[in-house]
Amino acid sequence: MNEETSKSLVQTPDHPRDHMDFYAINALRDNHAGWALLRAQNAPLALHFFIAAFTGPNQRNVGRQQLIDILDDVLFGVRETFGDDRFPRSASEYLDDWAAPERAWLRKYYVPGEDEPHFDLTAAAEDVVRWVESLKGRDFVATQSRLTSIFAVLKTLVQQSETDPEVRLAELQRQRDQIDQEMDRIRGGDVKVMTGPEALDHFQQLTALAKDLLSDFREVEQNFRKLDRQVREQIATWDGSQGELLDTIFANQQDIGSSLQGRTFQGFWDYLMSPQLRNELSDLLRRATHIEALAGTENLHAITNLHQDWLPAVEQTQGTVRQLSQQMRRLLDDKVFLENKRIMQLIRSIETSALDTRDRPPSSVFMDLDASSVDVALPFERPLYEPGSRVMVVDEIVAADDQDLDASALFNQFHVDRERLKWNIDDVLERKDQATLAEITDAHPLSQGLAELVQYYQLAVESDWATIDPESTQNLRWQLPDGTLKEATMDQIIFVRPA
């Protein structure tokens, strides 16, 4: 092999590939926190402590003093075997060192409302813990359950992605036929029960998946914090306008929720929050503890609280998502405060200059102000002269003959009392919760005809306790003083007793 051929087999950093090559692995060795943990001198002590404090009891958000007590117990046991010189520092010093940014094996933070710092295992450190635990080997390796899980996931992937209705209906028909055949076999007494090795295989697969799911939550939460950190850095270094900043914030918030990480986590959260699914999961876990083939399995009853271990981890991750909006709001409020402070400084400067100018006005032009509007007068808009027209007035006076003129209409005016009509409505509503206008006029007949009816309609329009139904009509009658009956058809009005 010549020199040029050997060089072509080496991937240069300028042309990286998607898979892990020499340069990507070398970068991980230099920068990854998990690789640094494996290379550390006190790696056995740190991993022992991480298992005892976090992964063993499946707990998170542990206070500083509680971790110091756990680490003191670990150090005491190690020093009894290897002497005090093996790990000479105190537990608090080791704890702070492992939580330092250059280590990043523990995440140190403060819980709202508490002064004591809390710690949690980082995703990189947990990956190392899981890998080291896998090195000790297993007496029983689950293979059948893994194959079953692969087939189940593959079937779900293919069937739920099928767009042809006929294909999906054929698959459902095939599943129904299999279920009918299985029911016929059970009715005939042929009941197939899972053997002991098969039950143990599936049980180990169940516990392994549950632990992997808990470890995934730390990585999900870390990804959300990384997205939040990128948004805050962009806000802190923003030089554009306030409107563009708001657009950027809302776009990034939408990106966090619509990202692959956000959508899958939201789907898991919705699944876990379903009361029906939680009850079904609890029932299945309870029934699993009564399987005879698993009677001698260690920590069998611990799986009944499997979903209870998920809830605190999911809630903390969900709380991290909620904090993203709060962080963005605080950063935005700080930026608005600084801008308002700058505006107030400019206003004070203008006011000070105005006061100085008032006492010592300049002799020349001080300032030019643009007019609020422009007066435009076009010559052709002026009207031409138009002489006035003379109005001819007939001033002949003719005496009127008022003997046949009926002037009674000028004196027979009447007034509709609104208060009397309100009293009529209240009087009827004292006996029932609601009443139509027809019922009110039956109890208190119309005495002033159409004018009184118009006043009732006006009261219904102005009242909050009346309804006018244009879809229904009602007929109202009244009698004139001469005995003539009048009838009016109008929209149905319903008065309701006030609450």
Give residue-wise pLDDT tens across range 74-112.
Answer: 999 998 888 888 888 999 999 999 999 888 899 898 887
Q: In what order do the strands lie in the sheet with 117-121?
A: 62-63, 117-121, 106-110
- The pLDDT confidence band at residue 133, using thresholds 50, 70 and 90, is confident
Among residues 320, 327, 312, 323, the alpha carbon closest in space to that of 62 is found at: 312
Confidence label for 4 from pLDDT (cuts 50, 70 and 90): very low
Phi, psi dihedral angles at 368 (to 5 degrees): -105, 125
Q: Say whether pLDDT at 342 is over 70.
A: yes
Q: Which amino acid would we find at residue 164? A: D
Give the pLDDT band of residue 269 (cuts 50, 70, 90). low
Tracing tokens 């004139």 back to the chain, one arrives at 480
H helix or E strand, kind and range, residue 65: helix 64-82
The pLDDT score that the predictor gives to residue 135 is 84
* Ramachandran category for residue 449: left, alpha or beta (phi over 0 → left; psi -120 to 50 → alpha): left
> What is the helix, strand, coil percentage profile of the chain, to 5?
60, 10, 30
Strand, helix or coil at 411?
A: coil
The single-letter code of the amino acid at 64 is R
Q: Which residue has the higher pLDDT, 453 or 413?
A: 453
Would you state the pLDDT for residue 46?
93
Of the chain, the end-to-end C-alpha distance in Å amounts to 98
* Secondary structure element (H or E) that encloses residue 217, with its range: helix 196-236
Tokens of 211: 């632990």
Share of the chain above pLDDT 90, in %: 12
Look at residues 376, 374, 443, 452 and name the one whose alpha carbon lies nearest to residue 417. 452
| All residues at 6 or more sequence positions from 81 whose CB lies less than 8 Å from its CB, including other chains | none
User: Across the chain, what does the average pLDDT equal?
Assistant: 78
Quick one: which of 304, 302, 316, 140 has its CA closest to 220? 316
Question: Is pLDDT above 70 for 320?
Answer: no
CB 47 within 8 A of CB 128: yes
Put residue 48 in one of left, alpha, beta given phi > 0 → left and psi -120 to 50 → alpha.
alpha
Work out the pLDDT band at 35, boundaries 50, 70, 90. very high
Name the amino acid, one letter, at 9: L
The H or E element spanning position 496 is strand 485-496
For the cut 90, the answer to whether the pLDDT of residue 65 exceeds it is yes
Nearest one of 194, 191, 193 to 202, comparing CA atoms: 194
d(Cα 335, Cα 243) in Å, to the nearest integer?
Answer: 12
Give the pLDDT of residue 185.
Answer: 84
**Which carries the bigger pLDDT value, residue 423 or residue 194?**
423
CA distance 14 to 6: 17
Amino acid (one-letter) located at 416? V
φ, ψ for residue 193, nearest 5 deg: -115, 140
Averaged over 195-203, what is the pLDDT? 72
Contact (Cβ atoms closer than 8 angstroms) between residue 119 and residue 97: no
- Cα–Cα distance measured from residue 282 to residue 290, given in angstroms and rounded to the nearest whole number: 13
- Higher pLDDT: 26 or 146? It is 26
Give the residue with greater pLDDT, 152 vs 344. Answer: 344
Query: Percentage of residues in the chain with pLDDT exceeding 70?
Result: 71
